[in-house]
Structure 1
Amino acid sequence: MRRRSYLFNQVVSARIADSLYEQPMLGDCVQFVGNRSFFPLPDVEPSSLQRLQSREVCLTAPLWGAGELPSESQAKIYESEVLEEYKVLQAGLANNGLRQERRPLLLVPDNLTATWIDEQSVCINFYLPSGCYATTVLRELIQ
């Protein structure tokens, strides 16, 4: 649903603008890479940071739905403030039976390769998990 992704993108854009796209906040929800289960980060100690750096887990942003944000502490306050002006949209999504979910904050394609075909053409190959858009990756590569 596009409106749901709009709210997700607002949080992602804010974190990028605030240089918080790789830096966890207390209470951030992290997700196991390759799986959709997530949990609030209990601390920002070296062991938690190592799990993020090794890509065992990744930071997430909310896909809005019914119920409370599962993030906690600083992260919940941050996400709530970013989305404050979208209360009507949040209510509409919740009333349509959607539930709170999370998706990775950053999209990191697997097996990314680029091969120049000639001076003006390049062949780019990569793998993305279900629900991700190749156009998003290509836009970032071109910029």
Structure 2
Amino acid sequence: MKKLIVSSIIASIMLPATTFANNKQLNQGEVAYHNTFPISQSEAYDIFITNTDYANTVIMSNTIAGVMYGYLIKQKYPKMKFNKDYLYGSLIGQLMQESDMSSQLAQNFNPNDPDQLIHNSTYANILLQAGQGGPYQINDYSKRLPSAEAKELLVL
């Protein structure tokens, strides 16, 4: 766990400035995502700014959730071997893959409000509709999902 936190801190704070699409240079605390490799000068990408209270909350809550995910896998399949760093970071990676961290997440996130959603209310309502996979868009296609007219959600 210490290795993961240290590598996350280094990745978000200590990386040197890097030049990306359209010769835009990343500043300290910026993470580019939704990109492909090798990065081309004309590619569009999104930037997540890590040095804010809401970003710290998103990063830490997803890291803790990743550790809990690993714990549950270990409990269910004790002999299974997996790369802990990769697994623990997979939830924040999936959230970044499925979300625009600058417009879909609540920028005015209050870490002291336990009832506040991480996503802004408009986007949260879309994600939590019947047939959607939640903020991580994890859909279980082995089950028939209810139609949009269903009054109850299918919990996976």
Same fold, TM exceeding 0.5?
no
TM-score by length of 2: 0.26
Q: Which has the larger radius of gyration?
A: 2
Where relative contact order (Cα < 8 A, 6+ residues apart) is larger, the structure is: 1
TM-score by length of 1: 0.28
Question: Which structure shows the bigger proportion of residues in strand conformation?
Answer: 1
